[in-house]
């Protein structure tokens, strides 16, 4: 497996994701700067969490126009798995690779704590490391994690099994407690919680380890 992590100005979880990927694969991923126009030889792309471009204009909006995103979009459309975590989820929505939008949290406060998620779909390449119906604890850290889409889109996501993870105790007001969604082809996944932050007992949990090992196994 040849993963890569896209690094934007003010990304703050890029190294965390790199550590998680190296732990799962045994090799360090390529770190790709947002200003580059070409991707290295890769079969898995991660857009990490953070505050790309300082969250100016709208979270993820400026990053979605970065030069490297043209190559990411082309790869995604060709079937390469693309994972967006937190700010990466926002970027994926801004590019149109995922439906919906991430709005300001319903309580208008930044939320940073562990949350319990229910695995709704473990048949995707991103969630195959879990059991269907399993409950996992993964932290969130965001101010704009309130997932929104119109009812028609939400119904389609539900009916097509594209809601992969759902909050048990909704921390941000997301529609239908949605924490993570897939695109229609199943190769693009956005989630607000940070699995890279729970890959060791020293970090408070290991549910992220199963996540990344599952992804690596599927991609391999």
Catalytic annotation present for 94: no
Tokens linked to 122: 């473990």
Name which of 217, 180, 183, 200 is nearest 89 in CA terms: 180
* Active-site residue flag, 34: no
Dist. CA 14–CA 218, nearest whole Å: 22
Three-state DSSP class for residue 161: coil
Candidate list 59, 86, 93, 142, residue with the active-site label: 86
13 is catalytic: no
Contacts of 3 (CB under 8 A, 6+ apart): 21, 25, 29, 30, 42, 43, 44, 45, 46, 219
Q: Which position among 4, 34, 59, 196 bears the catalytic label?
A: 196
Q: How far apart are the C-alpha atoms of 92 and 200, rounded to whole Å?
A: 28
Q: Which active-site residues does the annotation give?
A: 86, 194, 196
């Amino acid at each position: 497996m040849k993963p890569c992590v896209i690094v934007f100005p003010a990304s703050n979880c890029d190294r965390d994701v790199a550590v998680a990927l190296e732990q799962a694969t045994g090799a360090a991923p390529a770190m790709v700067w947002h200003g580059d126009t070409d991707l290295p030889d890769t079969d898995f792309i991660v857009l990490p969490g953070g505050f790309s471009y300082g969250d100016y204009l709208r979270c993820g909006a400026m990053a979605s126009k970065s030069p490297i995103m043209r190559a990411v979009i082309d790869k995604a459309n060709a079937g390469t798995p693309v994972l967006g975590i937190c700010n990466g989820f926002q970027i994926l929505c801004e590019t149109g690779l995922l439906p919906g939008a991430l709005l300001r949290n319903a309580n208008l406060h930044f939320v940073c704590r562990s949350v319990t998620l229910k695995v709704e779909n473990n048949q995707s390449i991103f969630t195959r490391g879990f059991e269907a119906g399993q409950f996992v604890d993964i932290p969130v850290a965001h101010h704009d994690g309130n997932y929104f889409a119109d009812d028609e889109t939400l119904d389609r996501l539900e009916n097509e099994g594209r809601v992969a993870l759902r909050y048990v105790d909704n921390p941000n007001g997301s529609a239908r407690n949605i924490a993570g969604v897939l695109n229609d082809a199943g190769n693009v996944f956005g989630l607000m919680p940070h699995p890279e932050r729970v890959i060791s007992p020293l970090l408070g949990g290991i549910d992220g380890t199963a996540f990344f090992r599952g992804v690596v196994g599927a991609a391999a």
